[in-house]
Amino acid sequence: MAPTSVKVRSYAKINWTLEVLHLREDGYHEIRTIYQTVSLHDLLHIRASRRGVTVHCDDGLVPCDETNLAHKAALLLKELAGRKSGVTIDIEKRIPVAGGLAGGSSNAAATLMGLVRLWGLQVQDCDLLNLAAKIGSDVPFFLTGGTALGVGRGEEVYPLGEVSSSRLLLANPGIAVSTPGAYKGLGRLTTSGQTRIMPFTVLAAKGISELPLAARNDLEEVVLAVHPEIEGLKLRLIGLGANQALMSGSGATVFGVFDNKRDLSRALGAIRSAGYWCEAVRTVDRRGYFGTLFE
């Protein structure tokens, strides 16, 4: 018998690298990024209802109307599947909002996967991917998880060999950064740019395990110029023993890569006592991702 409710973990992501190549005719930017799922997650409780889509969230910063990406996902899938009945989605929010960790996009993908199970749907992978890409550039990645390459506007996703489990510290100065604003700040980019061979293919050939140390994000320059506190957090993480510190996506969350558990717990304490949001996380590989998606 089909379940009447499902609980789905909705994991956050970081970007090991994010290269912005050029502005496209459609207004998006052509990017090359390496995504990574991490253990920080929201929890979605999706329940069958008579009709319509209703979203609740325990964080007042999250809109629950049609602009909510989980709401959009549910409506689109309901339409695709021709379902008359509805759903109620309760979101327990732990991922910082507008923090560069793709919490909203992850909620959308978790809703799609949750509803496929709740409604017992037989949906082709490519239909689900197309629907995910309609919702947002980062949404398709969460149908793959683990370590993955994102090209195009980020929506074309290719699984990569996994980065071996890394200890990371996520820190956020409590600023919400607008993604369109961050991209707009890259005013120097023109539509005439040529797609070039990704420098990190060389890196991948050397060994994907090198990635944490080669982290790079082209959006940093723009966002850090407006929010110097993010640069401050990066330096603080390095000072506290991180091998590498980088802004994730369009920010403002920064991740620090640690290979020493003691340094990591000390840094966690120091950053929290300085008043910042901070969480210790591990990278989550594809197997771990799909193995723990449903509670």
Select from 230, 253, 208 the least CA-distant residue to 99.
253
29 scored as a contact of ligand C5P (CB under 6 A): yes
Strands (E), 93-213: 147-151, 156-159, 167-172
CB of 218 to ligand C5P, least distance (A): 11
User: Are 99 and 252 in contact, with CB atoms under 8 Å apart?
Assistant: yes
Site mask, ligand C5P, residues 112-151, x = CB under 6 A?
Answer: ------------------------xxx-------------
- State the number of CA atoms in the 13 A half-sphere of 35 facing the CB: 32
CB of 196 to ligand C5P, least distance (A): 16
Rank residues 114 and 154 by Cβ distance to ligand C5P and give the closer one: 154
Task: Give how many residues touch ligand C5P by CB under 6 A.
Answer: 11
Question: Site residues for ligand C5P, window 31-50 (CB under 6 A)?
Answer: 31
CB of 27 to ligand C5P, least distance (A): 7
Among positions 100, 140, 145, 154, the unique one binding ligand C5P when judged by CB under 6 A: 154
Rank residues 146 and 154 by Cβ distance to ligand C5P and give the closer one: 154
Among positions 141, 142, 183, 289, the unique one binding ligand C5P when judged by CB under 6 A: 183
Taking the C-alpha atoms of residue 231 and residue 263, their distance in angstroms, rounded to an integer, is 20
For CA atoms 107, 150, 38, 247, give the dihedral sign: negative
- State the number of CA atoms in the 13 A half-sphere of 144 facing the CB: 26
Q: At what angle do helices 69-81 and 103-118 cross, to 10 degrees?
A: 30
Residues at the interface with ligand C5P (CB under 6 A):
28-29, 31, 136-138, 153-154, 179-180, 183
